[in-house]
Amino acid sequence: ATTPVSLKATAGLRLLPGDKADNILKAVEALLREQPFKLAPGGVAIMDGKDEGAFAWLTLNYLLGKLEGPVADTVAAIDMGGGSIQEAFALDDEAAKAAPK
């Protein structure tokens, strides 16, 4: 009961017509509430595209063992799905400071 759980759908769910996406999210939330986990409000939702890209980059670089070294050793992640495309890559501090807000 103290283990937090969250389930985030990707952009493809937004493509469903009418209120189908909302109905799916509500059904999943109801199912998770029956489980012995801690589900916070908003724990079942459609993920923002920025988060999709960030999680794809983090997962890829974690699996490749590249999170411990310099930023230059990380790899870019491109996630092409049914409803969106995300590209994510790390910048060194100098390049990040020069990037537009």
Q: What is the pLDDT of residue 44?
A: 95
Beta-carbon neighbour count of residue 35 at 10 Å? Answer: 11
Closest CA to 9 of 32, 38, 37, 34: 32
Token pair, residue 6, equals 């969250």
Annotated binding site: 82-86
Ranges of each domain in the chain: 4-46, 49-98
Q: What is the pLDDT of residue 74?
A: 96
Q: What is the pLDDT of residue 45?
A: 93
Q: Which of 34, 52, 68, 94 is catalytic?
A: 52
Catalytic status, residue 52: yes
Q: What is the pLDDT of residue 59?
A: 95
Annotated binding site for ATP: 82-86
Closest CA to 44 of 19, 14, 24: 24
For residue range 21-35, list pLDDT tens digits in order.
999 999 999 999 999
